[in-house]
């Protein structure tokens, strides 16, 4: 008869379904476990992902690869910032990976920044083509892996870090500095306004 066979197939299918539905449940539970040291970050980078100060970057929802690299660069002193150098100095590689993973899984906050003016948008679109920003940061500025998301970041932080790359005060990625030095100084505020408002 066909019946036992059908029942058996159904049982296998049901088991597979249970297996599938359990797996994401476990993964979610793991995502929610906040690494102990991440608690120290929330005072500045924001309990709900919104940093308390516009010169402090959003890290909630930023890519894990980029976050890890920045913590490593701060620890090694390749990127200079007194606070962050001190924070990262205390962390092991595994702690940095776990913290980077946890923040990468939090939602990116909507900072509700205004869209750039028409003049800034025009200037930015030309600069983005000239500097081929999309090749690494993606057409929408969303980044991937070790290329940071820049869309929707604080305007104030973007302007600061673009200016510091350009002057080579931020020296942990000379390539970014070289690219920005092919552009005009006036492109920096236009780009910051444009990316913040996306």
Q: What are phi and psi of 81, to 5 degrees?
A: -165, 115
Question: Which residue, 6 or 40, is less far from ligand HEC as judged by CB?
Answer: 40
Expressed in angstroms, the distance from the first to the final Cα of the chain is 63
Q: Which of 173, 192, 172 has the alpha carbon at shortest distance from 183?
A: 192
Interface residue list for ligand HEC (CB under 6 A): 37, 40-41, 43-45, 55-57, 59, 67, 69-71, 81, 83-84, 87, 99, 127-128, 131-133, 135-137, 146-148, 150, 153, 158, 161-162, 172-173, 175-176, 179, 191
Question: Least distance from C-beta 191 to ligand HEC, angstroms?
Answer: 5
- Which residues on neighbouring strands pair with residue 86, listed in sequence order? none
Question: Which residue, 116 or 127, is less far from ligand HEC as judged by CB?
Answer: 127
Question: Least distance from C-beta 68 to ligand HEC, angstroms?
Answer: 8
Whole-angstrom distance, CA of residue 5 vs CA of residue 35: 48
Question: Least distance from C-beta 189 to ligand HEC, angstroms?
Answer: 12
Question: Which residue, 116 or 179, is less far from ligand HEC as judged by CB?
Answer: 179
Whole-angstrom distance, CA of residue 137 vs CA of residue 13: 42
Q: Which of 162, 166, 170 has the alpha carbon at shortest distance from 189?
A: 162
Question: Least distance from C-beta 149 to ligand HEC, angstroms?
Answer: 8
CA atoms 27, 28, 34, 38: torsion sign: positive
Question: Which residue, 121 or 172, is less far from ligand HEC as judged by CB?
Answer: 172
78: Cβ contacts below 8 Å, ≥ 6 apart: 171, 172
Question: Least distance from C-beta 185 to ligand HEC, angstroms?
Answer: 13
Whole-angstrom distance, CA of residue 67 vs CA of residue 197: 22
Question: Which residue, 45 or 123, is less far from ligand HEC as judged by CB?
Answer: 45
């Amino acid at each position: 008869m066909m019946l036992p066979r059908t029942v058996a197939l159904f049982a296998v299918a049901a088991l597979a379904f249970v297996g599938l539905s359990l797996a994401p449940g476990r993964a979610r539970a793991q995502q929610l476990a906040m690494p102990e040291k991440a608690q120290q970050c929330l005072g500045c980078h924001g309990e709900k992902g919104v940093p308390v100060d516009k010169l402090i970057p959003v890290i909630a929802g930023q890519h894990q690869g980029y976050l890890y690299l920045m913590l490593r660069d701060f620890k090694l002193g390749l990127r200079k910032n007194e606070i962050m150098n001190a924070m990262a100095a205390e962390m092991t590689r595994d702690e940095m990976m776990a913290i980077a993973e946890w923040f990468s899984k939090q939602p990116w906050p909507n900072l509700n920044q205004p869209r750039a003016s028409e003049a800034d948008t025009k200037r930015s679109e030309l600069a983005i083509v000239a500097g081929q920003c999309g090749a690494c940061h993606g057409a929408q500025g969303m980044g991937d892996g070790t290329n940071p998301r820049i869309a929707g970041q604080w305007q104030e932080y973007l302007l600061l870090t673009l200016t510091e790359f350009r002057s080579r005060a931020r020296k942990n990625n000379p390539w970014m500095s070289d690219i920005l030095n092919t552009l005009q100084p006036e492109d920096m505020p236009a780009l910051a306004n444009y990316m913040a408002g996306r």
